[in-house]
Amino acid sequence: MRDNPVKRRLAGGGRAIGCWLNLVSPLAAEIVALAGYDCVMIDQEHGPGSPLDAIGQLHALSATPVSPMIRVAWNDAVAIKRALDLGVEGVMIPAVSSAAEARAAVAACRYPPAGTRGAAYGSIRASGYGLDREDYCNRVNDQLLVICQIETLQGVEAIPDIARVPGVDVLFIGPYDLSGSAGRLGGFEDAGVRNLIDRAERGIVDSGVWYGSVPSPARTTAQLVEAGCRLIISGSDVAFVRNGALGEVRAFRSLTGEDR
């Protein structure tokens, strides 16, 4: 297993930029990786893909230096195990709201005795189908980037406790679900929502773990960087295709003055 380039960058005081992959397309994954992102996040919480779909994307990414990661559907040991067995270098777990939930997430990422991850390292893709099993087993705990999302009111209150859980590398604010937890989904103009995000941000930065998030109406990329955000997942393959298509069509309609 190689040294995780994103984890190494963060440990050295640097920042990393990533991109969401939702189109379940190896070609889109390859294009995004070749653009120069540090990592990509295969989204299996909101994306339609299966573990088998992710393998096709991982094949495309393997020819690039990008660090492949997966967001699992939930804080579920089976979902985490299946994602890790594919050979990703980072896993994002949604809606971690307590230290107990964080401990469960970390345990699902680690082989016994450090955790509870099921062991099939003699055959999984992560270990080169068993060809590199000893190296993989010896290095995966140190090289895997474990990202816990803070997306609930309870999660914000528990940030100091979650941050103290060994093995949690990044606390990642999900601003949209966090605003929904406050009863104002997408209501970033609301003072209560903005205060909640401010509290979460300060809590993570003060905790000493790495802070991650996405740009939103509450925080631009520049504001995230200024606030000390170290891992920014900005943009998505869906948004690039959608916005590119909309721009072309709108420019054409404006030029010709003709409706569809």
Smallest Cα–Cα separation from 31: which of 64, 56, 54, 53?
Answer: 64
Q: What is the mean pLDDT of residues 151-159?
A: 98
**How far is residue 21's CA from residue 27's CA, in Å, rounded to a whole number?**
11
Instruction: Give the pTM.
Output: 0.97
| For residue 146, pLDDT beyond 90 | yes
| Mean pLDDT, residues 119-124 | 96
Q: What pLDDT is recorded for position 28? A: 98
Q: Residue 235 belongs to a domain with what CATH number?
A: 3.20.20.60
Instruction: Return the SS3 of 165.
Output: coil
Q: What is the pLDDT of residue 260?
A: 86
The mean per-residue pLDDT over the stretch 116-121 comes to 96
* DSSP secondary structure letters along 37-81: -SEEEEESSSS---HHHHHHHHHHHTTSSPEEEEE-SSS-HHHHH
Q: Which helix (H) or strand (E) holds 102?
A: helix 99-109
Residue range of the domain that includes 227: 5-256
Active site residue 46: yes
Out of 46, 59, 164, 242, the active site residue is 46
Res. 116 pLDDT band, cuts 50 70 90 = very high
Structure-token pair, residue 96:
């971690």
What confidence tens digit (pLDDT) does each residue in 169-227 have? 999 999 999 999 999 999 999 999 999 999 999 999 999 999 999 999 999 999 999 99
- Give the count of domains, the chain: 1
pLDDT, average across residues 119-144: 97
3-state DSSP assignment of residue 21: strand
pLDDT digits (tens, 9 = 90+) for 29-44: 999 999 999 999 999 9
What average pLDDT does the segment 151-163 reach? Answer: 98
State the pLDDT at residue 101: 98
Residue 97 has pLDDT above 90, yes or no: yes
pLDDT > 90: percent of the chain:
99
Token pair 């189908």 in the structure block, residue: 129
